[in-house]
Chains A and B, each alone.
Chain A
Amino acid sequence: MKVFARAQRLNQRTLLLCLLTALVAVSLVSLLVGAGNVSPSQALSMLLGGEDSEAYFVVWELRAPRTLMGIAVGMALGVSGALLQAVARNPLAEPGLLGVSAGAAFAVALALVLGASAATLRISVAQLGALIGCLCVLGVARWRGVGNDPIRLVLAGAAFSALLGAMTSLMLLFDQRSSDEVRFWVIGSLAGRRLEDLLAVLPSAVVCSVLIALIARPLSALALGERMASGLGHHPQLIRALVVLCVALLVGAATAIAGPIIFVGLVVPFIARAFAGPDIRRTLWFCLPIGPLIILAADIISRVVVAPSELPLGVLTALCGAPVLIAAVRARRLPTL
């Protein structure tokens, strides 16, 4: 038995390594393909040591930051999806579906209408909005009846998102300037974001990684049930509060960088659980490479499909994610967490 478990763990390690390799490969492709008048072969020869100032500029100034941001956004969304699903004990809990992203988007739009434009302000504002959205949704989830039914929770989240979306458009009607700024941002895309945004996110990312490292174990104990977790010496309420904080920070940061991107937080943990099994700690490890993989792949597709123009990233993830949602809903017995 022990041997079997070890073999499985080894297997998972190789799997994780494979995923990491795939991530490196995809990042490379992301550097080679895309916007700018530089062909993949030119970019490759530059990366291998060639002297090409144009290729240098396009690859290091345009594509590399974008790739980095894709990786960061993918990690944040994947991990926050897994965390939210674990704490809501609902496999369909997803920041985009439940209105956390909508809360962040609403807060950003509000700040823009009120006249803000500084990058740092935008991120903290988005995180605050995400926190409020998260609290609202989980408040609804703990309301009588709704929390027991995963699918009703999704419906409540959809209603909440629709409401926030309508209020966002309402505000934008008043203010044409912000409307122009927000319209492109609200679709969800990695195009034209600056590296400073990523740097501004860095502190909260560090805080989150520390927090996640601290709460991963208690969180997996929480999966056994509230009583069992308290019996093992954990504090369920505290864990929940910390997880909600983490999710808000991560989703807020990701939304501030790339706009609301729906369904990634659903798809990534879905795949990660298939690889890692039910333990939230392993799932989180698997989310780390899978999230960026999906975001980068979608981003590359968005650049290539209709070149020279680009598709919004959020559209692509919605197209890929909806079938997963339907598959999850169709499953005869809903997987419980």
Chain B
Amino acid sequence: MRPSGLKSDVRNRREHRKNSTAADDEPVQPPAGCWRWGERKINGASVLVERRAVWVNSALMVALVCAAIAYLCLGSLTLMPGEVIIALAGQGDMMTGFMVQELRLPRLVAACLTGGAFALAGILMQTLARNRLATPGIIGIDNGATAFAVASVVGVSVSLAPSAMALTGAVTAAVLTFGLAAGSGTQGYRFIVAGIGVGAVFGAITQLMLARVAIDTANAAYPWTVGSLNARSGGSVQLLGIGLALGFVASLALARSLTILRFSEATANGLGVNAKVRRIQILLLSVVLTALAVAVAGPVGMVGLIGPEIARALSTPRHVPVVAATLAGALVMVLADLMGRTLLTPIELPVGIVTAIIGGPWLLWILMRPQRSHA
């Protein structure tokens, strides 16, 4: 308990008298840097809100909105922010309205959703494996989803099929990676290299399928292999939106367990978290989010690594920054796609290439830093 002034002491005592039926005797002061919300309203239950998390999330949100406006403004035809807002409201010039509402807005939504999903899946998987490099992209789950999605493009062509197929592929890859690494545990680098091996197999299978089909079919499937927001299908985006919303709520519900799972399994069990069950839940959530995102944008590497990394750098180590990671992932994705669209006009870079060029050196830098820096 922190030392408190006379006034708050008096108030505490008064409260204590009011809630004397409660089992615990003294209301605990919130820890440093936190707010306590709603302590009197609902049965004395309260929520701790970290002040810094609030600031970080608001700042990220503001940055995301700014990036989104920039995303809507810039492109082959540059618009003023005012024009964009008018067009978003459904008024003004027909041409501008079409540009903003039909072309750029859906792509912006897809970028936000995929970025958020990749980063959320990334931070879940990192916490699960207790290794900041263990993102779904690196341990081969992206590639599994891609291989199956390409199979769906090459084989059957139903609009919703990629999502279902990507999900199957992601689950297959996850089962393979975790199964094959079973002896060596999910910690450490062996697990990750097993994942790289699984990813290589699925990558080869993708190449194999692309090499076998006619060139126009291969071209249709090409965005899947690099990660691009060019060829997203409406159905997949809606599915991803629903999935991300549900997954976000689920990971908020899991947030406390996530914080505790960073410790050893024994500690987690001792603190009342059923580590085994929670692990499976987290793994499933991460795999599903990855699969849905891959079904929209293909395997965009490194967002699952960079988003959580930014979130962790901004947050305190007190909790796993799920919200901040999601926001940061969306921000990274929007900015990367904006760069890809505008930097080298008239050539449009697939967003996967932009993130790989930004994220590759980042990953090397993480690897070359001294050992202590783990999630």
Contact = CB atoms under 8 A, between A and B. Distances in A.
B364 A169 contact: no
Interface residues of B, number: 42
A92 B203 CA distance: 20
A121 B369 CA distance: 38
Given A152-B189, A156-B364, A169-B353, A326 B198 contact: yes
Contacts of A262: 200
A151 B200 contact: no
By DSSP majority rule, is chain A's interface helix, strand, loop, or mixed?
helix
Most buried by A among B204, B356, B364: B204
Nearest to A309: B212
Contacts of A163: 356-357, 360-361, 364
Interface string B43-54: 000000000000
B303 interface: no
Interface in B181-206: 181, 183-184, 188-190, 192-194, 196-198, 200-201, 203-205
Contact of A315 (B180, B196, B204): B204
A203 B188 CA distance: 44
B1 interface: no
B201 A322 contact: yes
B360 A162 contact: yes
Contacts of B207: 187, 312, 314-315
A173 B361 contact: no
Given A170-B349, A309-B212, A311-B208, A159 B363 contact: yes
Most buried by A among B188, B197, B371: B197
A325 B197 contact: yes
Interface string B347-375: 10100110011001101100111110000
A319 B363 contact: no
B194 A329 contact: yes
Nearest to A262: B200
By DSSP majority rule, is chain B's interface helix, strand, loop, or mixed?
helix
Contact-residue size bin, chain A (C-beta under 8 Å from the other chain): 35 or more
A165 interface: yes
Contact of B181 (A146, A311, A330): A330
Given A155-B193, A156-B364, A315-B211, A322 B353 contact: no
A322 B133 contact: no
Contacts, number: 125
Contact of A325 (B193, B205, B211): B193
B201 A155 contact: no
Contacts of B133: 155
Contact of A156 (B200, B203, B357, B368): B368
A166 B356 contact: yes
Contacts of B370: 144-145
Given A149-B189, A163-B360, A309-B212, A158 B196 contact: yes
Contacts of B352: 166
Contacts of B361: 163
Contact of B192 (A155, A187, A330): A155
Contacts of A152: 189, 367
Interface in A18-77: none
B301 interface: yes
Sort A-B residue pairs by CB-CB distance and give the 10 closest, nearest first: A163-B360, A166-B356, A318-B204, A151-B189, A159-B363, A322-B197, A325-B197, A326-B197, A315-B204, A322-B201
Interface of A: 92, 140, 143-146, 149, 151-152, 154-156, 158-160, 162-163, 165-167, 169-170, 173-174, 187, 262-263, 306, 309, 311-312, 314-316, 318-319, 321-323, 325-326, 329-330, 332
18 contacts: A151-B190, A156-B367, A163-B364, A166-B352, A166-B356, A309-B211, A312-B207, A314-B207, A315-B204, A315-B208, A319-B201, A322-B200, A325-B196, A326-B197, A329-B193, A329-B194, A329-B197, A332-B184
